[in-house]
Structure 1
Amino acid sequence: MSVIDPRRGYLLGLTAYVLWGLFPLYFKLLQTIPAIEIVAQRVLWSALLGLVLLQFWKHPCWWRELLAQPRMLVALALCGTLLAANWLIYVWAVNDGRMVEASLGYYISPLINVLLGLVVLRERLRRLQWLAVALAALGVLQQIWQVDGVPWVALSLAGCFGVYGLIHKQTSVAVLPGLVVETWLLLPVALGWLWLHPSAATLVPDFWQTGTAWLLAASGAVTLVPLMCFNMAARHLPYATLGFLQYIAPTLVLLLAVWFYDEPFDPAQLAAFSCIWAGLLVYSVDTWLNLRRTHQRSG
């Protein structure tokens, strides 16, 4: 049994969320390549690197357990589809100058999870959770009213990630094998897309003699390293503590969008984000109070 080390857990958790928050810097370097092509290559390189990492996995018979449960393969195929959709929307949003809206999606993601728990798992919400969800809804409505349209990038990212997490919550597959299986199930689709587009930028022989090619080949490590840091952090920290750290990533994305890439952030957007931030504050306070009550009862 491994020793719990909170300091190591915080370091790994911070590493994961900071890396996720800095993803736009990486994808901006690839913006000459269409988003769907980046995702196809990301699936390919993630599948290859994942296969290598699984050779060092401590439970070599994990695949037998998976084959014994065909329903789990269906669940992982659905997870892979949601993951690919999330990647595609996010990469497109970053390279289309919509990082502010992408950050909004990951701010509302925890509250989408609460809502999914209510609707799908029939969980009962506490009063402060209701207030947090209401404030988030007010922020989204503010966005709709101000821009005269639904913030579909934010809602799609939050929805895909929320349902992805919900399905994973119902499965018993470990994170690394689960992600590798998801990418391998997506591999035929990615290879099929590349085969149907022989003139794609990444299939031109000269492309693989450029620095951009090496960056693209690194997409497997870019995908798996923060996930592995997160997975290891979860062994040393309560999941709720990791929940508080998750706000680091969208905050970094928002700061990069406004201060580094000069995306507009007008008072109307500030008002909408303020509602979301207020909802997250209420959600965080409720989580802290609930953890405190649980600790007092167990003590």
Structure 2
Amino acid sequence: MQDSTKGIFLMIGACTIWGLSPIYYKLLVNVPPLELLAHRTFWSLVVFAGLLVVQGRLGKLRDALGTGRAVLITGFAALMISTNWFLFIFSVQIGQVRETSLGYYIFPLVAVLLGVVVLRERLAALQWVAVGLAALAVTTLTVGLGSAPWIALTLAVTFGAYGLVKKRLAVGAVVSVTAEVVLLGPLALLWLLWLQGQGTGVFGVDVRTSGLLVLSGLLTAFPMILFSAAAKKVNMATLGLLQYLNPTLQFFCAVVLFGEPLTPFHITTFGLIWIALALYSGAGLAQDRARRKSVMTSSAEPPA
């Protein structure tokens, strides 16, 4: 099997776990979202740190946290991803998986817009049209429902900011995520110990709940490992297209499994977003083909 094919299967595995994760969090609706976030953070630290120990790469954390600037960047990334995690958990518990799906559909377009504003990147005409359609979609839903889809927007912005700041880190994905939970882990552990001391913590109350809480670390780490491996084997255009499997499966969970209602405004909004993503992806694929053609042409030229 070719590396690119392996990469596609690895990416499908990662996105399937992410996309179906609302089912897991629905099983823990009895756990307050902040407590569940603390467990996810702590058990992720255990899994990620254990993985680096087994790989003999624990020393790589010095590269991620070795300077004050690195700590600040990693700390900001940790703040963005923990906010994202909390809001996702909260959304599942209040029956708004439909909005989490919308947020992760919007995310690539928000990330592109952040690139324009922060990194001064330039967009092709079709990409601008895609961003405009996304803005129209959000406006449609806001007017239709009488309030902005703040959950979707916050998820998209926090994940977009997270991806943007990660570009400034020289370490790999697994090491950088481990560094993030290293910073968050002590806070999570203190909160959990305080809850247990108050007698309000859910850990240890029953085997099922406790086991599911411990599983949150593996559920966080495993798809990240798959994603990191996939990123090394497939090009960015393919990676970007496959990522849409995540919000598509979340949409399936929301509408089919959880029975969340879809108003005409939601249908219109998702339709506009899907058209926007088709245009954006088409422009991205065209740029990727042009880059590869340019590389092949330049490599085929005889030396002077």
TM over 0.5: yes
Q: Which of 132, 135, 144 is residue 133 of structure 2 equivalent to? A: 135
CA distance, structure 2, for counterparts of residue 131 and residue 201 of structure 1: 49
CA distance, structure 2, for counterparts of residue 259 and residue 195 of structure 1: 38
**Per the alignment, in what secondary structure is the counterpart of residue 161 of structure 1?**
helix
- The answer to whether the Cα contact below 8 Å between 2:138 and 2:149 also exists between their aligned partners in 1 is yes
Question: Please, what TM-score do these two structures have when normalized by structure 1?
Answer: 0.94
2:222 equivalent to 1:221: no
2:162 equivalent to 1:164: yes
Per-residue deviation, 1:61: 3.4
Q: Deviations over 1:138-162 (max 9, x none)?
A: 0000110001111100001001100
- The answer to whether the Cα contact below 8 Å between 1:82 and 1:161 also exists between their aligned partners in 2 is yes
2:199 partner amino acid: S
Q: Which of 99, 104, 127 is residue 101 of structure 1 equivalent to? A: 99
Per-residue deviation, 1:262: 0.6
Pair 238,46 (structure 1): closer, same or farther in 2 beyond 3 Å: same
Question: Please, what TM-score do these two structures have when normalized by structure 2?
Answer: 0.93
CA distance, structure 2, for counterparts of residue 67 and residue 32 of structure 1: 36
- The answer to whether the Cα contact below 8 Å between 1:6 and 1:237 also exists between their aligned partners in 2 is yes
Aligned residues: 294
Q: Deviations over 1:24-70 (max 9, x none)?
A: 01000111111111000111111111111011235453133335432
Alignment of 1:1-299 (within 5 A): 5-57=3-55, 59-197=57-195, 198-203=198-203, 205=204, 207=205, 209-299=206-296
Pair 210,64 (structure 1): closer, same or farther in 2 beyond 3 Å: closer
Pair 180,146 (structure 1): closer, same or farther in 2 beyond 3 Å: same
1:270 partner amino acid: I
2:29 partner amino acid: Q
Identity %: 37
Per-residue deviation, 1:202: 2.1
- The answer to whether the Cα contact below 8 Å between 1:9 and 1:233 also exists between their aligned partners in 2 is yes
CA distance, structure 1, for counterparts of residue 134 and residue 201 of structure 2: 40
**Per the alignment, in what secondary structure is the counterpart of residue 274 of structure 1?**
helix
The unaligned stretches of length 5 or more in structure 2 are 297-304
Q: Deviations over 1:202-249 (max 9, x none)?
A: 25x4x1x42121011111100000000000001110122110001101
Per-residue deviation, 1:82: 1.0
Pair 64,210 (structure 1): closer, same or farther in 2 beyond 3 Å: closer
- The answer to whether the Cα contact below 8 Å between 1:105 and 1:158 also exists between their aligned partners in 2 is yes
CA distance, structure 2, for counterparts of residue 233 and residue 244 of structure 1: 13
